[in-house]
């Protein structure tokens, strides 16, 4: 079980508080979907779980063990995995090499891993993870590096981004199979109905706070009428002045 206790995160020189006193528990074999507006704190939360960011205050526990001060490597070795929203590219490292590095004891053949993300091993294993791959391809390979590992906690940061509709259907199926077969705590950051449908629990992350147990209907029907911009009046005069000038 993964537990966050009173976790806050402030970033940058301005010490902007992206996460505000978050507490939540996530169980084994459950699939959680984090959703919410851009800039709400979803990716920051994922990075806190992987150890890429360290909380300003609060603690993180994995199966009762305090992992707050553990490095990214130490957390990885305890079975936490994170599929990047924008995976980095590597010159001279092939898809095969990356999968080999990622694999722990799963032993799943690489061709199966690639097939699960809708790619054919014959076409991809020997290719480098560099700029010759499209955004969607690199994203799918990134997901395969998570499937390659037997994990306690797997976090996927907007897996749908850049992936075409057909491959996305396949990916949703893959998440579902993973959820059925494994005990992994799955955390998926997503805005897609197809992914929201898979969730045991949907959490809304907004303005650095979390609302647990929201329903899919409330998310899909959400009309953001509260949006306002109080800078409108201040800037209007300037814009007009520029136009006249």
Partner 1 sequence: MLNALDKTLLEKVADLHSVPIGAYSIRKNGVGIERNSTANITVEPKTDKPGINVTVKPGTKNESVHIPALVTQEDTEDTVYNTIVIGENSDVLVVAGCGIHNDGGKTARHDGIHDFHVKKGAKMRYVEKHYGQGPGTGEKILNPKTIIWAEADTVVELEMVQIEGVDDTHRETTVHLGDRAKLIITERLLTTGVQTAVSSVNIELEGENSTAQVISRAVARGHSKQDFFFDLSGKNKSRGHIQCDAIIMDNATVLSTPKISAYHNEAQLVHEAAIGRLESEQLIKLMSIGLSETEAENTILNGFLK
The residue ranges that bind partner 1 (CB under 8 A) are 50, 52, 71-73, 76-77, 81-82, 84, 86-88, 90-93, 97, 101-102, 104, 145, 149
Nearest approach, Cβ of 20 to partner 1 (angstroms)?
25
What is the distance of C-alpha 121 from the center of its chain?
25
Nearest approach, Cβ of 230 to partner 1 (angstroms)?
36
Closest CB to partner 1 among residues 97, 206: 97
Task: Give me the helices (H) in the chain, please.
Answer: 42-50, 72-77, 95-102, 110-116, 121-124, 135-147, 165-181, 193-196, 216-220, 232-244
Nearest approach, Cβ of 162 to partner 1 (angstroms)?
16
Nearest approach, Cβ of 215 to partner 1 (angstroms)?
32
Closest CB to partner 1 among residues 74, 236: 74
Closest CB to partner 1 among residues 102, 163: 102
Closest CB to partner 1 among residues 132, 169: 132
Structure tokens at 134: 């499209």
Check if the beta carbon of residue 83 is closer than 8 Å to that of residue 101: no
Nearest approach, Cβ of 149 to partner 1 (angstroms)?
7
| Count of CB atoms situated within 10 Å of the CB of 21 | 14
Task: Give me the helices (H) in 82-223, please.
Answer: 95-102, 110-116, 121-124, 135-147, 165-181, 193-196, 216-220
Closest CB to partner 1 among residues 44, 192: 44
């Amino acid at each position: 079980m993964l537990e966050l206790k009173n976790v806050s995160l402030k970033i940058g020189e301005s010490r902007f508080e992206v996460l505000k006193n978050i507490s939540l528990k996530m169980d084994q074999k459950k699939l959680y979907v984090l959703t919410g507006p851009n800039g709400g704190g979803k990716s920051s939360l994922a990075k806190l779980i992987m150890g890429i960011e360290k909380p300003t205050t609060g603690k993180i526990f994995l199966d009762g063990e305090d992992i707050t001060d553990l490095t990214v490597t130490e957390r990885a070795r305890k079975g936490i995995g994170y599929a990047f929203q924008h995976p980095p590219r590597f010159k001279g490292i092939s898809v095969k090499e990356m999968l080999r590095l990622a694999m722990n004891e799963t032993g799943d053949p690489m061709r199966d891993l690639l097939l699960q993300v809708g790619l054919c091993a014959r076409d991809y294993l020997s290719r480098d993870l560099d700029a010759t791959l499209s955004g969607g391809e690199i994203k799918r390979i990134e997901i395969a590096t998570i499937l390659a590992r037997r994990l306690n906690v797997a976090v996927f940061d907007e897996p749908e981004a850049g992936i075409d509709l057909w491959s996305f259907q396949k990916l949703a199926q893959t998440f579902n199979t993973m959820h059925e077969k494994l005990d992994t705590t799955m955390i998926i950051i997503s805005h897609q109905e197809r992914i929201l449908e898979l969730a045991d629990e949907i959490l809304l992350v907004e303005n650095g706070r979390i609302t647990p147990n929201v329903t899919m209907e409330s998310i899909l029907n959400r009309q953001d009428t509260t949006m306002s911009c109080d800078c409108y009046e201040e800037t209007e005069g300037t814009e007009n002045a520029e136009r006249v000038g």
